[in-house]
Amino acid sequence: MRYSPAEIEPKWQAVWDADAALYAAEPHETGKPKYYCIEMLPYPSGKLHMGHVRNYAIGDALARHMWMRGYNVLHPMGWDAFGLPAENAALKNNTPPREWTLANIAAMRQQMRRMGLSYDWATEVTTCLPEYYRWNQWFFLKMYEQGLAYRKNSKVNWCPECATVLANEQVVNGCCWRHEDTIVEQRDLTQWFLRITRYADELLQGLDKLEGWPEKVRTMQRNWIGRSEGTNVDFAEAKSGAKITVFTTRVDTIYGATSVQLAPEHVVAKAFAAEDAALAEKIAELLEQQKQAREAGDVGAIEKHGVDTGRFAINPYTGEQVPIWVANYILADYGTGAIMSVPAHDERDWEFAKKYGLALKRVIVPEEVTELPDLPYVEEDKSVLVESGAYSGLSCAEAQRQMQALALEKQFGTATVTFRLKDWGVSRQRYWGTPIPMVYCACSGEEPIPVPAEQLPVLLPEQIEITQQGGSPLGRVPEFVQTTCPRCGGPARRETDTMDTFVDSSWYFYRYTDAHNSSAPFASDKANYWFPIDQYIGGVEHAILHLIYSRFWTKVMRDIPSGDGGLIRNSEPAERLFTQGMVIKDGAKMSKSKGNVVSPDDMIARYGADATRMYALFAAPPDRDLEWQEEGVAGVSRFLGKVYRLTTKYAAVRGSAEAGAGNGAGLKLLRTLHQTIAKITHDFGGRWHFNTSISAIMILVNEIAAHEAALDSGEVPPAVVAQLFRGLTQLLAPFAPFLAQELWAQTGGEGAVFRAAWPAVDEALAREDELEIPVQANGKLVTVIKVAADSDQAAVQAAALADARVAARVAGKTVAKVIVVPGKLVNLVIK
RNA sequence: GCCCGGAUGGUGAAAUCGGCAGACACAGCGGACUUAAAAUCCGCAGGCCGCAAGGCCGUGGGGGUUCAAGUCCCCCUCCGGGCACCA
């Protein structure tokens, strides 16, 4: 019988599908430790791609291993089911988004089953269904109550292709994250925002404690949050006394400020423009330049331009008047939209001042160097102030402290912290998303009225006509828009924007713990049992989208009063995060346009799910990019064929365990088995280098094949043969579950192989009794000697020196020193 | 510019704590089996010199520490990723 995954895999798939309890989590009362392992939920595009296969192969191996280690494992799967592709498909094929999405889910669920993934389908979450999204609305109302959800008019990112607003996190290099070549426009719109900035500090500080997260992700989040400590200082416009607050991180350089620079949209700049048509025109020009640079995605490349307003501002520290300029490189939405320009000590200010011939004044010098450094001198450490009144002679840090203290005392400024992170814009002018549960009524003017919680869900109407023109599609559905005001009972209209789909994925993993709760998003005790997630696995592309939003959501839920605490206890969603590398082909990310897409279906049809999954784990360590080579899959398939041939050949051999290891071949094989168990157990506990785990299994199988004659002759005791193949089968279970299950059954195993206990390492059996010790001369290999494992240093040294090749090398020279590293090597220092 | 990764045979990679560089595979070459092929099995395989024994060189480059460096330290190059006139 040849190895035939096409027969084995569907057979076991049917058995597993019929057993609902197989992958189900157990009740909390079980004495077992819990283990919550999840992979990021996919968007139901209709087909799995290789990136999914890799992601799920990693998570599945881990979940199965943890079951075998005796944990109570929660391993769920769900669907990030709202989003634009469903609407686009509707436009193209005239299929309702819901129908399209649910059909895709069914197809992908089927693919996952075919892959043999161990999900507990009883906890499946589909975010586009009302039983899920009603809780998005519920959370939205809670946030509204707490001032965390609010509406404001502002400049927002608009993708013309998506015909909707995007969050800052969804703009990549000035383009849409979904349409890499579509430049995002800036529009003024009134939109809903979630106040993620309220948690900015906690989100930042929490990163230090997330030791189980990749440093890379933590760094990306730190950069994204962009905390910057500084000082707000109020300058006064000389004529009107109008306040111009500037933000600076270097208040110590303020005696060197030679101008104030305003963003083109700054209120004061607008006020000046209103009185001066020529100036207004110039400012409009600057604004246009800035807008274009922003839309080109490279504000950094903007050529600096500015205009002198002819007005002056009074520096509150010096009483000096400095000219006020408007410049295109000053951003209205960072800091206060106004800066003080210190050309002597800032690169940008230096460049700008040189271009326009503005004054410069040196106020910081190195502490010790006698020669004055070239300008701009931006060093802050080991530097002192000069020409700065009473502050002259102070270190920069001390000057900052004293100057902040004065500003506070005289009430013209304050120490302040500025973040790059902006509030999360969640309104989307699209149909296929969660309706925002708000109502507008004449009785409250422009103030929105929340839909009462008992009226949730606000259902998304189905059977509507979808177009991309003219704003939110829901706005053209009168049955949806027209409603009754919850406050006055009169006619009112609903909010017609829907929520960003990242809302859905911000808390979905809590819902898994209580997926069918119809009175709450989940029960706190259930979430508290499973959370935090022990291991979260997904792509690094979500480092500053999903992974920052879901950290925010977790903190919000913790702060929602419930019972004697919050809704949950944990402050972070996941203890450990693993970001797997991309799957590439011919050196590039797989994409339709490049024509280098490898279909998982094809691979499974040709080599089986086991070989496909196992190759995804074998070809590279999981955190690195993986180059897909079909020959490699064929190689793994050949290997599995070898395992099948050998195991089935000896499957009927049984023997009493007390018979002992025997000697020779039997002992050697058992030793390798236990060394392999030790290695793989260790890999799961630490580095997750499954490529080396699988190579260890290959070494074991090669060793078995090399001893086939001894197995045939009966030289190896039957108990050893049985133990060997049982062990091999168990080691294979996390990586090739179908084949492992088949062989488990054939070798007499009961039930599911991945519910059998993970084999224990017999340390004594694993230990070699003879070691190969390399002998070096001055660090270069001379020979390898064999010594008994328990040899002491003197014995090893004697054996090394007794070796003929060593003697030949040493002849006529002096051995100055002998270094013996126990169990490792001998190095002779020869002169 | 700042920050985080990375660079090892023809290819994917291994070397977990400073201790035999290239495990395990893929591709290749040679052989067995076969009328032949596929499949399978056995063997060879970093580079250079050499019939061989053996020697020399070799982990992006340069320096250093050490009995010993892919691994530690300093400097540099290139590649990938993040942030960026952010005041």
Quickly list DSSP for A661-701: --SHHHHHHHHHHHHHHHHHHHHHHTT--HHHHHHHHHHHH
User: How many residues make up chain A in this entry?
Assistant: 831
Smallest CA–C1' distance to B16, residue? A687
The answer to whether the C-beta of A331 is closer than 7 A to strand B is yes
pLDDT at A515: 96
How far apart are the two ends of chain A, measured CA to CA in Å?
A: 64
Q: State the average pLDDT over residues A796-803.
A: 86
| Nucleotide nearest A224 (Cα, C1') | B83
Bases of strand B lying below 7 A from some protein CB: 3-5, 11-16, 19-21, 23-27, 39-42, 56, 67-69, 81-87
C-alpha–C-alpha distance, residues A540 and A221, integer Å: 12
Q: Which two tokens stand for residue A486?
A: 């919850």
- Residues A606, A754, single domain; the answer is yes
pLDDT at A658: 57
- Residues A684, A611, single domain; the answer is yes
Say if strands A770-777 and A825-830 run parallel, antiparallel, or are unpaired: parallel
How far does the CA of A46 sit from the C1' of B40, in Å? Answer: 40
How far does the CA of A47 sit from the C1' of B41, in Å? Answer: 40
Which is more confident, A596 or A399?
Answer: A399
Q: Which of A510, A486, A582 is nearest to A542 (CA)?
A: A582
Q: What is the pLDDT of residues A228-262, one digit of tens each?
A: 888 999 999 998 889 999 999 999 999 999 999 99
User: In this model, does residue A299 exceed pLDDT 60?
Assistant: no
How far does the CA of A743 sit from the C1' of B37, in Å? Answer: 32
Please say which residue of A501, A516, A538 terminates a domain.
A501
Comparing A138-152, A505-519, A542-556, which segment has the lowest mean pLDDT?
A: A542-556
Burial grade of A351 (CB within 10 A; 0-12, 13-18, 19 or more): middle
Q: For the domain that residue A557 is a member of, what is the CATH number?
A: 3.40.50.620
| Nucleotide nearest A695 (Cα, C1') | B24
How many domains is chain A partitioned into structurally? 5
The answer to whether the C-beta of A219 is closer than 7 A to strand B is yes
Backbone angles phi, psi at A232, to 5 degrees: -95, 130
- Residues A411, A427, single domain; the answer is no
Q: Which of A631, A547, A540 is nearest to A582 (CA)?
A: A540
A219 assigned to some structural domain: no
Question: How far lies A709's CA from each of A229, A668, A716, A729, in Å?
Answer: 74, 14, 10, 21
Residues 382-421 of A with CB under 7 A from strand B: 418, 420
Q: For the domain that residue A779 is a member of, what is the CATH number?
A: 3.10.20.590
Write down the residue that tokens 């960072």 correspond to: A334
pLDDT at A301: 62
| Nucleotide nearest A304 (Cα, C1') | B85
The answer to whether the C-beta of A627 is closer than 7 A to strand B is yes
The answer to whether the C-beta of A781 is closer than 7 A to strand B is yes
C-alpha–C-alpha distance, residues A428 and A468, integer Å: 12
The answer to whether the C-beta of A634 is closer than 7 A to strand B is yes
C-alpha–C-alpha distance, residues A79 and A58, integer Å: 19
pLDDT at A300: 55
How far does the CA of A215 sit from the C1' of B79, in Å? Answer: 20
Q: Which of A572, A549, A428, A556 is nearest to A500 (CA)?
A: A428
A595 assigned to some structural domain: yes
| Nucleotide nearest A773 (Cα, C1') | B20
C-alpha–C-alpha distance, residues A819 and A804, integer Å: 19
Q: State the average pLDDT over residues A612-638.
A: 93
Q: Is A476 helix (H, G, I), strand (E, B) or coil?
A: helix
According to DSSP, residue A435 is labeled: B
How far does the CA of A681 sit from the C1' of B64, in Å? Answer: 39
Residues 6 or more apart whose Cβ sits within 8 Å of residue A807: A801
C-alpha–C-alpha distance, residues A248 and A335, integer Å: 8
The answer to whether the C-beta of A299 is closer than 7 A to strand B is yes
Q: What is the pLDDT of residues A660-678, one digit of tens each?
A: 666 788 889 999 999 999 9
Q: State the average pLDDT over residues A278-288.
A: 90
Residues of chain A with pLDDT > 70, as a percent, come to: 97
Q: What is the pLDDT of residues A158-182, one digit of tens each?
A: 888 888 888 888 887 777 888 877 7
- Residues A639, A733, single domain; the answer is yes
How far does the CA of A506 sit from the C1' of B87, in Å? Answer: 33
Q: What mean pLDDT value characterizes chain A?
A: 90
User: In this model, does residue A41 exceed pLDDT 90?
Assistant: yes
A215 assigned to some structural domain: no
pLDDT at A619: 92
User: In this model, does residue A544 exceed pLDDT 90?
Assistant: no
A662 assigned to some structural domain: yes
Q: State the average pLDDT over residues A748-771.
A: 90
pLDDT at A376: 80
pLDDT at A505: 95
Q: State the average pLDDT over residues A344-354.
A: 88
Please say which residue of A482, A501, A520 terminates a domain.
A501
Peptide bond into A376 cis (omega under 30): yes
Range of the domain at A376: 228-418
How far does the CA of A221 sit from the C1' of B71, in Å? Answer: 30
Question: How far lies A56's CA from each of A79, A578, A617, in Å?
Answer: 14, 12, 10
Say if strands A78-79 and A364-366 run parallel, antiparallel, or are unpaired: unpaired
The answer to whether the C-beta of A351 is closer than 7 A to strand B is yes
Q: Which of A398, A396, A400, A397 is nearest to A415 (CA)?
A: A400
- Residues A657, A742, single domain; the answer is yes
Smallest CA–C1' distance to B69, residue? A779
The answer to whether the C-beta of A462 is closer than 7 A to strand B is no
C-alpha–C-alpha distance, residues A216 and A222, integer Å: 10
Please say which residue of A524, A553, A580 terminates a domain.
A580
Q: State the average pLDDT over residues A579-608.
A: 86
Q: Report which listed range, A345-354, A696-705, A778-787, is most confident.
A: A696-705
The string of DSSP codes covering A779-799 is TEEEEEEEEETT--HHHHHHH
- Residues A681, A713, single domain; the answer is yes
| Nucleotide nearest A297 (Cα, C1') | B84
Q: What is the pLDDT of residues A629-647, one digit of tens each?
A: 999 999 999 999 999 999 9
How far does the CA of A216 sit from the C1' of B61, in Å? Answer: 27
Question: How far lies A586's CA from each of A519, A539, A629, A763, in Å?
Answer: 51, 20, 9, 44
The answer to whether the C-beta of A220 is closer than 7 A to strand B is yes
User: In this model, does residue A308 exceed pLDDT 70?
Assistant: yes
The answer to whether the C-beta of A180 is closer than 7 A to strand B is no
Smallest CA–C1' distance to B5, residue? A216
Per the CB < 8 A criterion, the answer to whether A710 and A716 are in contact is yes
Q: What is the pLDDT of residues A669-711, one digit of tens each?
A: 999 999 999 999 999 987 889 999 999 999 999 999 999 988 9
Q: A389-408: b or e for each residue (b if 16 or more CB lie within 10 Å)?
A: eebeebbbeebbeebbebbe
pLDDT band per the 50, 70, 90 thresholds, residue A439? very high
CA angle A647, A651, A655 (to 5 degrees): 125
A213 assigned to some structural domain: no
| Nucleotide nearest A630 (Cα, C1') | B26
A205 assigned to some structural domain: no
pLDDT at A296: 61
How far does the CA of A763 sit from the C1' of B84, in Å? Answer: 54
- Residues A748, A610, single domain; the answer is yes
Residues 6 or more apart whose Cβ sits within 8 Å of residue A257: A315, A322, A340, A341, A342
For residue A112, how many other CB atoms are within 10 A of its CB? Answer: 20
Beta strand segments in A129-184, E: 149-159, 164-166, 171-172, 175-176
Residues 802-821 of A with CB under 7 A from strand B: 817, 819, 821
| Nucleotide nearest A826 (Cα, C1') | B19
What type of residue is A760? A
C-alpha–C-alpha distance, residues A485 and A493, integer Å: 8
The answer to whether the C-beta of A626 is closer than 7 A to strand B is yes
Say if strands A164-166 and A149-159 run parallel, antiparallel, or are unpaired: antiparallel
| Nucleotide nearest A231 (Cα, C1') | B87
- Residues A682, A749, single domain; the answer is yes
Q: Which two tokens stand for residue A743?
A: 């062989």
- Residues A651, A760, single domain; the answer is yes
- Residues A469, A510, single domain; the answer is no
| Nucleotide nearest A302 (Cα, C1') | B85
Please tell me chain A's helix, strand, coil percentages from 3-state DSSP, rounded to the nearest 5. Answer: 45, 20, 35
Per the CB < 8 A criterion, the answer to whether A70 and A53 are in contact is no
Q: Which of A89, A87, A70 is nearest to A31 (CA)?
A: A70
C-alpha–C-alpha distance, residues A53 and A163, integer Å: 32
The answer to whether the C-beta of A231 is closer than 7 A to strand B is no
User: In this model, does residue A516 exceed pLDDT 90?
Assistant: yes
A52 assigned to some structural domain: yes
- Residues A393, A488, single domain; the answer is no
Q: For the domain that residue A380 is a member of, what is the CATH number?
A: 3.90.740.10
| Nucleotide nearest A227 (Cα, C1') | B86
ipTM comes to 0.94
pLDDT at A656: 65
User: In this model, does residue A787 exceed pLDDT 90?
Assistant: no
pLDDT band per the 50, 70, 90 thresholds, residue A295? low
Q: Which of A388, A342, A384, A346 is nearest to A365 (CA)?
A: A384
| Nucleotide nearest A339 (Cα, C1') | B87
Q: What is the pLDDT of residues A131-142, one digit of tens each?
A: 999 999 999 999
A271 assigned to some structural domain: yes
Per the CB < 8 A criterion, the answer to whether A541 and A583 are in contact is no
Which is more confident, A380 or A750?
Answer: A750
pLDDT band per the 50, 70, 90 thresholds, residue A614? very high
| Nucleotide nearest A687 (Cα, C1') | B16
Say if strands A491-494 and A438-440 run parallel, antiparallel, or are unpaired: antiparallel
User: In this model, does residue A366 exceed pLDDT 70?
Assistant: yes
The answer to whether the C-beta of A639 is closer than 7 A to strand B is yes
Smallest CA–C1' distance to B2, residue? A223
Q: What is the dihedral of CA A458, A462, A467, A470, to 10 degrees?
A: -30
How far does the CA of A824 sit from the C1' of B18, in Å? Answer: 12
Q: What is the pLDDT of residues A91-129, one digit of tens each?
A: 888 889 999 999 999 999 999 999 999 999 999 999 999
pLDDT band per the 50, 70, 90 thresholds, residue A607? very high
| Nucleotide nearest A619 (Cα, C1') | B12
The answer to whether the C-beta of A774 is closer than 7 A to strand B is yes
pLDDT at A174: 75
C-alpha–C-alpha distance, residues A660 and A762, integer Å: 13
Peptide bond into A532 cis (omega under 30): yes
User: In this model, does residue A477 exceed pLDDT 60?
Assistant: yes
- Residues A36, A114, single domain; the answer is yes
Q: Which two tokens stand for residue A188?
A: 């003024």
C-alpha–C-alpha distance, residues A683 and A39, integer Å: 19
How far does the CA of A633 sit from the C1' of B33, in Å? Answer: 26
pLDDT band per the 50, 70, 90 thresholds, residue A334? confident
Residues 537-596 of A with CB under 7 A from strand B: 540, 544
Comparing A175-179, A192-196, A433-437, which segment has the lowest mean pLDDT?
A: A175-179
H or E stretch covering A776: strand A770-777
According to DSSP, residue A264 is labeled: T
pLDDT at A101: 96
pLDDT at A297: 54
The answer to whether the C-beta of A263 is closer than 7 A to strand B is yes
Which is more confident, A183 or A508?
Answer: A508
User: In this model, does residue A761 exceed pLDDT 70?
Assistant: yes
pLDDT at A37: 95
Q: Which two tokens stand for residue A818?
A: 């002998």
Which is more confident, A722 or A298?
Answer: A722
Tell me the Cα Rg of chain A: 34
Which is more confident, A260 or A378?
Answer: A260
